[in-house]
């Protein structure tokens, strides 16, 4: 029944590669694959997003019955051939038989029937297949009389002795006059050897010269025989002639037949018989056969010229298909995963389309209407006489055949889908249509791939049976469109489609996933279905269904592109190339594969956790490159590129929803610690940003680089977080010794509750360490608005656990040192807080209880000397701006005994390195976050006074 919006085709689904290509094949066939009077160029097709099926709207074929009848009776496959290949019908083996035409043996037998029967010829004896008359003489027969009779008739009589029973008999063979054949054989033996005749081959007793050749020599053999006969043989004459020219002038007869020695041999000749009334098919077949000898030769220049000449002579529609199959086939490596190596010698029998295309056409024509309905409408073929193997599970690479099932994801499933020969034919038609402009290879750096606009490299490698990596696997993205579109318009879309990121062409599948999320392609496609090409037990790719990605233009969809723009521009990932020849270059692709996998996952579902995983994967690879000299040598002799500083505003926005994650807050506070701070005299601090404490890199104006010798500031091991942070705290204080404040100031910080949880060992140290490594790649500049709001709310916290006095004292001293301005003389005085910070930090970073107690005691004494801001109201501050001496701490009966348990001692220095937000900076007009210290000090108060009031201090301390 006809529907207003088209006829649905349940046999075409976009989530199975063969079915998706069938849909385009149906549209292509209706528009171009029939006689001009039978085509419907105005037919339109579209995808139904609700059912994932394809719909066809055609005025000429408006219902299911007429569509099925079109394919059953009028469909003519695109005539594609592979004249460079030795199988598939173009160059299949041929049986050649050359015999003399002098004399007529059948007439000789009729005229001498009584005489021959008297010599022993039986009346039921038939002529041999070669045309000779062979029989056994009676014992008393006159052989000489027979020879004279045969010679007078222009025939030749040969005899030989054969054993029979207990004695011997004479076998006679009467053939045509052998002299013309012997003359031809002597004069053209060398040429015949070139055509396949073995050097020891002789004329048979029946007077026939037989040998095997291939179809590329067919015309040359016939022309050689015709020249001997004094006639001519035009190239491209009928494929199996029995007589070359006029019988009365012929001296020799040449018979050529197809050699039936394989499953696919003879498929093209049989298809030629079925399409004898198709002039386009016959023309293309003749052109292919005429080009065989040059295309299979050894001279590369001749092959290249012959290929271009062959392509130019083809009809336009067929020439475009050849471009899809093998653009620049003879001059450059140009693999196409859809078409499986384009039929190069050495492929599996079913490993390319040329070996199966015409065989499936022959099967289809055996029961065309039933197969048409089965292919289009998913009906079962129940007609008798149709082999089951032609119905289910065949059709590499579009329809897997070894396991009788398809693949719908990461693994093979056992459900069987209907399959018939027309499925394969239409899938090939769709593959031929899915080509870009022949001058365009959308793979980055002009990779030598066929001109498909949506074929990219994936992360997996293709390996052979021995496990050797051959190349990167491929990923094909199939376009989905929902607006009814004609074939010409669709073809124009495909030719013109572009898939680019802002700074580069898409090379990897992960690139394309990002591109279509943010800007799609310039063709108006609504979505894309991904298919991966993997190996399944042999060096033949199998397809697996991948992601379905809609083309959207929302801000969230383009987020990942903005985040990774600096990485794209730097070419960081391009350093880790895939190489098959490991003797000259190492294969570094496995190192970047986890990064590409993470990018693909984030492109498909751009949530915060997946985006953060991309950052961590980049950090892992960046660290390997920075730490491994051998890896840097493998990358190449040029400049090694490290991950550039990533844009703070982009990453802050992307990770906003993680700000309530306590481990993320801790890691970000650490990663945002600044370096290279400008000093009062105009110089810059020698302390690097926090990434310089993790890796032996130095920060340049726009990038990170590895100095010679490497920077000694990197003390991060990645094994024990607390020891690493303690070592970083000590190192950063030493490296900023000459600066007006320690290099411990950060752009971001964490809430007090998160700090206390870390100090108490309640958080996941391994996750914090991983996040620190990833977040250190970001060029942190300022806190987000949400972070400032959370900090403002944090100032009103009333029910926190008591802060350990050890942490309160050391952190308060660090904050006062960091808050000292460059104009303050105490900032650089040996008697000021700077020197005290160095002594205190040196003690607490030992992580030993006794040393930590000494460091805390030293911090309390120094706080009593330098004082802390008065927080007890404006009136109190007017009377006494600072609290010092016994206002901070007093000793009643000798030195106070401060207790530090081992757990607190181990984590204290690490916790001191972590800062907290200072919302008061906005109220004081501090718009540049790098000018603020990394502590709490709400309203300017020291951490000790606010968070450790007198009643929380141990006995003897108040």
Two tokens at 349?
Answer: 């029998």
Residue given tokens 């919302």 in the structure block: 919
β-strand 485-486 against 44-48: which pairing, if any?
A: antiparallel
Q: Are 91 and 213 contacting, i.e. CB atoms less than 8 angstroms apart? A: no
pLDDT number for residue 526: 87
Two tokens at 218?
Answer: 């067919």
Q: Residue ranges of the chain with pLDDT lower than 50?
A: 1-2, 238-248, 261-264, 327-334, 341-351, 383-386, 389-393, 401-408, 410-415, 439-450, 537, 795-798, 821-832, 892-895, 917-942, 944-958
Contacts of 329 (CB under 8 A, 6+ apart): 84, 307, 342
What Cα–Cα distance (Å) separates residue 684 from each residue in 601, 702, 815, 816, 931?
Answer: 41, 16, 21, 21, 14
Contacts of 196 (CB under 8 A, 6+ apart): 96, 211, 212, 213, 214, 217
Contacts of 279 (CB under 8 A, 6+ apart): none
The DSSP element (H or E) to which 356 belongs, if any, is none
Q: Is 59 exposed, middle or buried (0-12, 13-18, 19+ CB in 10 A)?
A: exposed
Cis geometry, peptide bond prior to residue 709 (ω within 30 degrees of 0): yes
How far apart CA 635 and CA 660 sit, in angstroms, is: 40
Angle at 283 between CA 278 and CA 287, to 5 degrees: 150
End-to-end C-alpha distance for the chain, whole angstroms: 93
Residue 160, beta-bridge partner list? 171
pLDDT number for residue 768: 97
What Cα–Cα distance (Å) separates residue 73 from each residue in 34, 370, 426?
Answer: 10, 12, 15
How far apart CA 535 and CA 541 sit, in angstroms, is: 5
Q: Are 377 and 10 contacting, i.e. CB atoms less than 8 angstroms apart? A: yes
How far apart CA 585 and CA 595 sit, in angstroms, is: 21
Q: What is the pTM of this model?
A: 0.69
Q: Which of 502, 496, 534, 495 is nearest to 517 (CA)?
A: 502
Helical ranges in 136-249 per DSSP H: 143-152, 179-187, 189-194, 218-229
β-strand 778-779 against 646-647: which pairing, if any?
A: parallel
How far apart CA 392 and CA 372 sit, in angstroms, is: 14
pLDDT number for residue 958: 35
How far apart CA 96 and CA 209 sit, in angstroms, is: 8
| Count of CB atoms situated within 10 Å of the CB of 758 | 25
pLDDT number for residue 946: 41
């Amino acid at each position: 029944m006809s529907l207003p919006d088209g006829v649905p085709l349940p046999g075409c689904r976009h989530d199975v590669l063969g079915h998706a290509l069938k849909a385009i094949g149906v549209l292509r066939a209706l528009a171009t694959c029939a006689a001009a009077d039978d085509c419907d160029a105005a037919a339109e097709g579209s995808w139904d997003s609700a059912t994932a099926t394809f719909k066809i709207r055609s005025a000429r074929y408006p219902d299911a019955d007429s569509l099925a009848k079109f394919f059953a009776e009028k469909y003519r496959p695109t005539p594609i051939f592979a004249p460079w290949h030795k199988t598939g019908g173009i160059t299949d083996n041929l049986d050649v038989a050359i015999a003399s035409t002098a004399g007529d043996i059948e007439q000789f037998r009729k005229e001498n029937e009584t005489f021959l029967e008297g010599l022993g010829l039986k009346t039921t004896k038939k002529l041999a297949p070669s045309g000779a008359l062979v029989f056994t003489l009676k014992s008393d027969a006159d052989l000489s009389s027979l020879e004279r009779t045969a010679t007078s008739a222009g025939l030749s009589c040969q005899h030989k002795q054969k054993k029979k029973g207990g004695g011997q008999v004479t076998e006679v063979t009467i053939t045509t006059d052998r002299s013309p054949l012997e003359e031809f054989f002597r004069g053209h033996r060398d040429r015949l050897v070139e055509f396949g005749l073995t050097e020891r081959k002789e004329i048979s007793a029946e007077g026939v010269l037989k040998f095997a050749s291939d179809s590329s020599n067919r015309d040359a053999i016939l022309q050689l025989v015709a020249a001997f006969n004094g006639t001519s043989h035009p190239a491209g004459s009928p494929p199996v002639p029995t007589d070359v020219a006029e019988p009365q002038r012929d001296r020799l007869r040449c018979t050529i037949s197809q050699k039936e020695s394989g499953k696919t041999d003879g498929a093209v000749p049989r298809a030629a018989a079925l399409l004898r009334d198709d002039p386009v098919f016959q023309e293309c077949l003749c052109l292919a056969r005429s080009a065989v000898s040059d295309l299979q030769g050894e001279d590369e220049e001749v092959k290249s010229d012959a290929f271009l000449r062959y392509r130019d002579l083809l009809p336009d529609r067929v020439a475009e298909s050849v471009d899809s199959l093998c653009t620049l086939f003879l001059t450059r490596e140009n693999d196409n995963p859809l078409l499986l190596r384009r039929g190069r010698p050495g492929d599996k029998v079913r490993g390319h389309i040329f070996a199966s295309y015409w065989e499936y056409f022959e099967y289809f024509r055996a029961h065309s209407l039933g197969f048409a309905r089965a292919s289009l409408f998913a009906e079962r073929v129940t007609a008798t006489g149709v082999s089951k193997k032609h119905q289910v599970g065949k059709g590499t690479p579009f329809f897997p055949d070894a396991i009788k099932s398809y693949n719908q994801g990461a693994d093979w499933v056992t459900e069987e889908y209907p399959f018939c020969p027309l499925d394969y034919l239409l899938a090939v038609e769709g593959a031929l249509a899915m080509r870009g402009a022949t001058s365009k290879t959308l793979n980055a750096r002009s990779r030598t791939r066929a001109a498909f606009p949506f074929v990219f490299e994936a992360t997996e490698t293709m390996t052979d049976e021995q496990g050797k990596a051959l190349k990167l696997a491929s990923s094909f993205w199939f376009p989905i469109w929902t607006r009814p579109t004609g074939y010409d318009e669709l073809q124009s879309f495909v030719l013109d489609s572009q898939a680019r990121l802002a700074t580069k062409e898409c090379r990897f599948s992960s690139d394309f996933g990002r591109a279509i999320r943010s800007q799609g392609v310039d063709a108006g496609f609504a979505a894309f279905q991904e298919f991966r090409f993997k190996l399944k037990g042999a060096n033949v790719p199998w397809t697996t269904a991948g992601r379905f990605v809609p083309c959207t233009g929302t801000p969230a969809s383009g987020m990942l592109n903005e985040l990774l723009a600096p990485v794209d521009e730097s070419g960081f990932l391009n350093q880790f190339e895939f190489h098959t020849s490991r003797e000259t270059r190492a294969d570094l692709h496995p190192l970047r594969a986890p990064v590409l996998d993470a990018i693909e996952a984030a492109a498909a579902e751009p949530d915060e956790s997946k985006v953060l995983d991309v950052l961590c994967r980049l950090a892992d690879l960046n660290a390997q490159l920075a730490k491994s000299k051998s890896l840097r040598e493998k990358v190449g002799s040029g400049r090694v590129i490290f991950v550039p500083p990533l844009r703070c505003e982009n990453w802050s926005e992307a990770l906003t929803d993680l700000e309530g994650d306590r481990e993320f807050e801790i890691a970000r506070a650490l990663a945002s610690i600044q370096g290279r701070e400008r000093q009062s005299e105009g110089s810059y601090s020698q302390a690097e940003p926090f990434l310089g404490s993790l890796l032996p890199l130095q920060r340049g104006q726009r990038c990170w680089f590895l100095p010679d010798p490497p920077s000694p500031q990197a003390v991060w091991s990645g094994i024990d977080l607390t020891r690493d942070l303690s070592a970083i705290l000590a190192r950063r204080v030493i490296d900023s010794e000459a600066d007006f404040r320690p290099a411990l100031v950060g752009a971001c910080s964490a809430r007090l509750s998160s700090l206390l949880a870390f100090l108490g060992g309640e958080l996941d140290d391994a996750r914090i360490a991983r996040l620190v490594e990833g977040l250190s790649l970001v060029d942190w500049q300022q806190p987000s608005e949400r972070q400032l709001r959370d900090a403002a709310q944090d100032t009103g916290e009333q029910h926190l656990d008591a802060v350990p006095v050890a942490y309160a004292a050391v952190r308060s001293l660090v904050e006062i040192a960091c808050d000292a301005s460059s104009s303050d003389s105490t900032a650089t005085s040996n008697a000021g807080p700077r020197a005290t910070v160095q002594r205190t930090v040196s003690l607490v970073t030992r992580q030993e209880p006794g040393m930590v107690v000494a460091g805390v005691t030293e911090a309390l004494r120094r706080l009593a000397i330098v004082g802390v801001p008065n927080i007890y109201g404006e009136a109190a501050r007017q009377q006494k701006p600072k609290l010092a001496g016994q206002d901070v701490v007093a000793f009643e009966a000798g030195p106070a005994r401060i207790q530090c348990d081992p757990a607190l001692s181990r984590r204290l220095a690490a916790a001191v390195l972590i800062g907290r937000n200072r919302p008061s900076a906005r109220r004081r007009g501090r718009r540049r976050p790098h000018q603020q210290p990394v502590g709490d000090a709400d309203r300017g108060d020291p951490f000790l006074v606010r968070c450790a009031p007198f009643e929380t201090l141990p006995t003897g301390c108040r």
